[in-house]
Amino acid sequence: MIRGLYTATSGMIALQRKQESISNNIANMNTAGYKQADTEFRSFPKMMVELARDSEFKYNATKPILGVFSTGVLAEENVMRFNQGDLQETNNPFDFALVDRMEVDGATIGENGITRDSQGTIVHRPKAFFTVMDSSGQIRYTRASKFMFNDSGELVTPEGDRLMGTDGQPIVVADQSKINVTKNGQILQSETGYPILNAGNQPIAGFLISKIANPDKLIPIGNNKFRFDGDPTTVPGVEMSDSVEIHQGFIERSNVDGTKAMVDMITVSRAYEANQKMIQTIDKNMEKTVNDVGRV
């Protein structure tokens, strides 16, 4: 009977974590470039149950197998879903949305971004990200679409992270009023169509768009940013042959499905209540056993 308490309690804890994840997704439905997280459940290791044949519980005694039982469930991890969000036009020249549809040779990848090849190996759809440098000099990745210029003429995120160019340096533009960014990330003058020159009279480097072959190696760190679980110097930039485009004057909306999120929240709430009632039932049975059966 106590096992039932453990099982129901572990279910409530796991469901609480899933509810928190769903709530965070709903709260960020209007956050540009936000990628939703889904909580994955995993059962605790199953245990073999045997019947003891004697009162001394001898080690070598023959014990008939009763079967296996599970001891509960846990919320193992939050899995990010990196599917493309819809674009929304803002007409703000400093808003940039990424659209990518990169494929892997010999693999047909669905909307979930994962499949298996003919050898059974898991294959991920590569994803493109803006490359930024935070205040501590660390390279981070984001799909956030809103940018602005700081007092130094650097293109930055609302949190102040500097957008990196293909030369590995922050992008600096002296005259921000006439900026035009092509779909492959080149920075041009909006009036003449010529490249904008830097202080050294050289064309400004274009946007550094990083290609993450396995998005599962990205770890969310807040403010719609990710860090790469590995050496960032090994992350390549996208190539001309990759299906990646930058759309100026647009933002990428959150990929959270509001209707599904609300349905999931109701489902989790009802499952939580069911586990709660199970604990109450077990508690009443234990109370009856102690007070009534024990009296006999």
Per residue, the 3-state secondary structure of 192-254, as one string, reads CCCECECCCCCECCCECEEEECCHHHEEEEECCEEEECCCHHHCCECCCCCCEEEEECEEECC
Given a cut of 80, whether residue 295 has pLDDT beyond it is: no
* Residue 291, pLDDT score: 77
Predicted pLDDT at 56:
53
Q: Is 124's pLDDT higher than 90?
A: no
Percent pLDDT > 70 in the chain is: 86
Q: Which pLDDT score, from 0 to 100, does residue 82 have?
A: 92
Residue 2's alpha-carbon distances to 42, 250, 276, 281, in angstroms, are 21, 56, 14, 12
Mean pLDDT of 62-76: 70
The pLDDT value given to residue 100: 92
Q: Name the residue with higher pLDDT: 175 or 96.
A: 96
For the chain, report the end-to-end CA distance as a whole number of angstroms: 20
Residue 275 vs residues 6, 42, 78, 156: alpha-carbon distances, Å:
11, 17, 22, 47
pLDDT of residue 285: 84
Q: For residue 95, what is the DSSP state?
A: B
pLDDT of residue 62 exceeding 70, the answer is no
* Percent of the chain residues past pLDDT 90, beyond the cut: 52
pLDDT on residue 163? 95
Per residue in 182-204, pLDDT (tens digit) is: 999 999 988 888 888 877 788 89
Contact 99, 184 (CB under 8 A): no
Mean pLDDT: which of 122-126, 176-180, 255-259 is highest? Answer: 255-259
- Lowest-pLDDT range of 16-25, 46-55, 106-115: 46-55
Domain coordinates in residue numbering, the chain: 2-80+257-293, 87-252
Q: Which residue has the tokens 């480097």?
A: 205
Give the mean model confidence (pLDDT) for residues 80-100.
93
- CB hemisphere CA count around 103 (13 angstroms): 7
The kind and range of the H/E element at 275 are: helix 258-288
CA 52 – CA 31 distance, rounded (Å): 59
Please tell me which residue, 79 or 68, carries the higher pLDDT value.
Answer: 79
What pLDDT is recorded for position 46?
67
DSSP SS3 for 155: strand
> Is the pLDDT at 49 greater than 70, yes or no?
no
Three-state DSSP class for residue 146: strand
What is the pTM assigned to this prediction? Answer: 0.82
The torsion angles phi and psi of 45, rounded to 5 degrees, stand at -55, 140
Note the pLDDT of residue 241. Answer: 85
List pLDDT tens digits, range 234-290: 999 998 888 899 999 999 999 999 999 999 999 999 999 999 999 999 888 888 877
One-letter amino acid identity for 49?
Answer: V
Q: Which pair of structure tokens corresponds to residue 204? A: 């400004």
Average pLDDT score over the chain:
86
Mean pLDDT of 14-30: 94
Q: Could you give the CA distance from residue 141 to residue 139 in angstroms, rounded to a whole number?
A: 7
| Contact of 98 with 245, CB cutoff 8 Å | yes
What is the pLDDT at residue 58?
Answer: 53
Q: Which of 37-51, 170-184, 239-253 bottoms out in mean pLDDT, i.e. has the lowest?
A: 37-51
Per-residue pLDDT, 284: 86
